[in-house]
Structure 1
Amino acid sequence: MLEELKSYLRADDEENSDLENLLNDGKRYLNRLAGIELDFNSDILAKTLLLDYCRYKYNNASEYFLENFQEDILRLQLESAVSIYDKEQE
């Protein structure tokens, strides 16, 4: 995931540590919003939101993330709620 983020942000190897921190913060943040532990490798929506969250945070604009990705975040939350419901029904 680090290499994808570096490519997405056009960042170099000197920023690896900072980018790893961004990824970890973003994963925790999106997991909290979704209410479940997301799989950022297989869930394309979660992965896209993670990369965009990191982009906003990297550019010191994280306060605009919720506003600009409101529809995608809602979709992620709904998919997560359905996933939880399905697991409870098993």
Structure 2
Amino acid sequence: MTDQQLNELREELKGYLKITWNEEDDDLLKYVKDGIDYLDETAGIGIDYTVDSKARRLLMDYGRYVYNHSLELFEVNFERELFKLSLREGIKDHATTDTETST
């Protein structure tokens, strides 16, 4: 992702958390980057969070849990959504691989 896209996601997270000050921008950007790493690893593929609204919503919730010092509960509370994300991306990746090998 570009720096501009990361900053836009950080601004979206700030809005989601109702943060109007700038003192925590560096921390929030780190939360976005960590969330992207976590969700991409969970999905097994890089996700475009600027396009995929379901994945972006999970990223915002990840940021909310980190911000509120509750990250240990994120995976438990979003187990179903994380499974769906992983399954959906795995199916897309498999379909792409099948198309590439059949040509």
**TM-score normalised over the length of structure 1:** 0.96
1:10-89 correspondence runs (5 A):
10-11=18-19, 12-89=21-98
Matched position secondary structure for 1:14 = coil
Identify the residue that residue 6 of structure 1 maps to in structure 2: 14
Provide the alpha-carbon RMSD of the alignment.
0.7
Structure exhibiting the larger radius of gyration computed from Cα positions: 2
Report the count of equivalent residues.
Answer: 90
Unaligned runs of 5+ in 1: none
- Quick one: which amino acid aligns to residue 12 of structure 2? E
Unaligned runs of 5+ in 2: 1-8
| % same residue | 38
Extract structure 1 runs of 4+ deviating beyond 3 A: none
- Quick one: which amino acid aligns to residue 74 of structure 1? F
| CA deviation map 1:43-73 (0-9, x unaligned) | 1111000000000001000000011001111
